[in-house]
């Protein structure tokens, strides 16, 4: 485990206020999801999950076909599709366009894909102003932080934190009432919308048969972002493509319910191409940036490519007992929680943070709530195996490897196993049947020390089961 990962976990666990904030907020989202997916509310919930999984599987299995269809249809409406390999290509495209059009101000609606490529930082580095307009994202931009959660980016901030940030960064009188804080943000952002040259959004779905991007949101800021400025750029991962508009009948029933516990989000927008003659609003130019950034590496891998089915609802984060303890910023990349634990090693390589796939008790709560039925625990297990293979190639972690080789040998030699068990029992401190609080210093190493750092150890029984069985 990297020192940084270890430290972030420790710091988050040690912060009582943060612990309460994370646990309460995720708990609320978790409960709401359960309410709106209950049998009496959505009787076909499980069937919808099965359908969503089948649709995503089909789309990913035929990704080339649907991306080409999408591109043809976008261009048919006068839009343009831009394929980008990585973060640099995305920012180069935006910077080049901004330069040619003389653009200075960019407004952005919420997009994990742009977070993934650090778009704001890259644009600002070149002198452009790029403003987040989703309230949570705006708060975090002012605080110079990355999203804490896929759908609730400022989940870890209390209203008092937000008051402090606004006072410091916007030089306004301190307000702690959420509605008033929202009005302050709205006042600032309205001006930005009116002045912006370019609007950058994400996309929840790329609809192949309609050449449209679908954007699902609650605040209306994505509508303003995509319609007020003269140029709209939607940035999306290539895996967001779905075959038909009618497939949304399945996904829209699942997305908001899984994400926020709403039946439907407040705004669902379908955007296809720039403003056409006779239309009163919409951008003059319409671009869809399709990002790879490691995604195509998953395509040949049948055991794990289901990771690309994700619709970024965040339900797995709220259900995860690990996320609910260590929060979003402990994770080594912008994607946190169970989904982050499976896509980070695949997009960035397993050596990015080799401990990440191991930071799970494999409880399975994530897979249970995933609306597109990604078998996250299975993928975690595959990744653990990948990490160990990579370590073996690099000659790392040799002691652990030796330990498991000995384990396998002992477990296939019952006599040795029995003897080893009795030896271990004879070395254990006498606890008089009570649970053991500590062991002598020379024994307090490795797993034993780690166990005892948090919990007591069971006393060794006087006889193993097999001995009792023989003598009964």
Report the interface residues with other proteins, using CB under 8 A. 1, 9-10, 13, 23, 321-322, 325-326, 355, 357-365, 367-368, 378, 381, 384-388, 400-401, 404-405, 407-408, 410-412, 414, 417, 421, 424-425, 435, 437, 446-447, 450-451, 453-458, 460-461, 463-469, 472
- Residue 167, CA distances (Å) to 131, 133, 135, 171, 363 in order: 18, 18, 16, 5, 42
For other proteins, which is the closer residue by CB, 177 or 406? 406
The nearest distance, CB 377 to other proteins, in angstroms, is 8
The nearest distance, CB 442 to other proteins, in angstroms, is 18
Contact yes or no for 192/107 (Cβ under 8 A): yes
For other proteins, which is the closer residue by CB, 168 or 389? 389
The nearest distance, CB 404 to other proteins, in angstroms, is 4
For other proteins, which is the closer residue by CB, 301 or 467? 467
CA atoms in the 13 A half-sphere facing the CB of 440 = 5
Gap between the Cα atoms of 319 and 323, Å rounded: 8
The nearest distance, CB 23 to other proteins, in angstroms, is 8
The nearest distance, CB 25 to other proteins, in angstroms, is 15
Contact yes or no for 294/348 (Cβ under 8 A): yes
DSSP E strands: which ranges in 66-208? 80-84, 105-108, 129-132, 198-201, 205-207
3-state percent breakdown (helix, strand, coil) of the chain, nearest 5: 55, 10, 35
Task: Give a three-class secondary structure readout of 335-386.
Answer: CCHHHHHHHHHHHHCHHHCCCHHHCCCCCCHHHHHCCCCCCHHHHHHHHHHH
Q: What is the dihedral of CA 139, 142, 146, 148, to 10 degrees?
A: -30
Gap between the Cα atoms of 175 and 184, Å rounded: 9
For other proteins, which is the closer residue by CB, 125 or 389? 389
For other proteins, which is the closer residue by CB, 237 or 354? 354
Contact yes or no for 199/106 (Cβ under 8 A): yes
For other proteins, which is the closer residue by CB, 160 or 409? 409
**Residue 56 dihedral angles phi and psi, to the nearest 5°:** -65, -40
For other proteins, which is the closer residue by CB, 77 or 358? 358
**β-strand partners of 221:** none
Task: Give a three-class secondary structure readout of 38-81.
Answer: CCCCCCCHHHHHHHHHHHHHHHHHCHHHHHHHHHHHHHHCCCEE
The nearest distance, CB 399 to other proteins, in angstroms, is 13
For other proteins, which is the closer residue by CB, 22 or 254? 22
For other proteins, which is the closer residue by CB, 249 or 468? 468
DSSP conformation letters of 143-164: HT---SSSS-TTTT--HHHHHH
CA angle 300, 303, 309 (to 5 degrees): 80
The nearest distance, CB 422 to other proteins, in angstroms, is 9
For other proteins, which is the closer residue by CB, 6 or 64? 6
The nearest distance, CB 465 to other proteins, in angstroms, is 4
The nearest distance, CB 208 to other proteins, in angstroms, is 33
The nearest distance, CB 414 to other proteins, in angstroms, is 5
**Could you count the other beta carbons within 10 Å of the beta carbon of residue 187?**
11
- The rounded Cα 174 to chain-centroid distance in angstroms is 33
């Amino acid at each position: 485990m990297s020192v940084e990962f270890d430290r972030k976990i420790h710091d988050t666990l040690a912060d009582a206020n943060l612990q309460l904030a994370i646990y309460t907020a995720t708990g609320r989202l978790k409960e709401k999801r359960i309410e709106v997916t209950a049998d009496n509310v959505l009787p076909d919930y499980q069937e919808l999950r099965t359908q969503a999984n089948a649709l995503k599987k089909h789309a990913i299995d035929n990704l080339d076909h649907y991306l080409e269809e999408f591109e043809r249809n976008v261009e048919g409406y006068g839009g343009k599709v831009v394929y980008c390999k990585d973060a640099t290509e995305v920012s180069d495209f935006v910077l080049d366009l901004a330069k040619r059009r003389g653009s200075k101000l960019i407004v952005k609606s919420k997009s994990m894909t742009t977070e993934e490529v650090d778009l704001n930082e890259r644009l600002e580095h070149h002198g452009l102003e790029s403003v987040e307009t989703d309230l949570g994202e705006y708060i975090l931009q002012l605080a110079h932080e990355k999203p804490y959660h896929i759908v609730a980016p400022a989940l870890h901030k209390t209203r008092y934190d937000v008051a402090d940030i606004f006072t410091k960064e916007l030089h306004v009188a301190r307000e702690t009432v959420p509605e008033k804080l929202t009005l302050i943000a709205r006042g600032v952002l309205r001006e930005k919308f009116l002045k912006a040259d370019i609007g950058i959004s994400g996309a929840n779905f790329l609809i192949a048969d309609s050449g449209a991007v679908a954007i699902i949101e609650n605040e209306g800021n994505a509508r303003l972002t995509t319609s007020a400025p003269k140029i709209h750029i939607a940035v999306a991962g290539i895996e967001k493509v779905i075959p038909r508009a009618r497939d949304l009948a399945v996904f829209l029933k699942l997305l908001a319910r899984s994400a926020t516990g709403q039946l439907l989000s407040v705004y669902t927008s379908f955007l296809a191409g720039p403003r056409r003659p006779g239309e009163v609003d919409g951008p003059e130019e319409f671009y869809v940036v399709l990002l790879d950034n490691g995604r195509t590496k998953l395509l040949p891998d049948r055991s794990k490519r289901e990771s690309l089915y994700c619709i970024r609802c965040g339900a797995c984060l709220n259900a995860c007992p690990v996320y609910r303890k260590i929060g979003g910023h402990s994770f080594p990349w912008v994607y946190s929680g169970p989904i982050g634990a499976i896509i980070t090693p695949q997009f960035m390589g397993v050596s990015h943070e080799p401990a990440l796939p191991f930071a799970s008790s494999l409880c399975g709560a994530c897979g249970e709530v995933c609306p597109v039925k990604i078998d996250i625990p299975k993928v975690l297990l595959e990744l653990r195996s990948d990490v160990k293979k990579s370590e073996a190639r690099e000659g790392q972690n040799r002691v652990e490897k030796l330990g498991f080789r000995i384990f396998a040998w002992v477990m296939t030699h019952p006599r040795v196993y029995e003897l080893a068990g009795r030896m271990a029992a004879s070395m254990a401190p006498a606890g008089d049947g009570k649970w053991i609080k500590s062991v002598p210093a020379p024994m307090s190493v490795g797993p034993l020390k780690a166990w005892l750092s948090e919990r007591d150890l069971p006393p060794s029984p006087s006889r193993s089961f097999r001995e009792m069985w023989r003598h009964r």
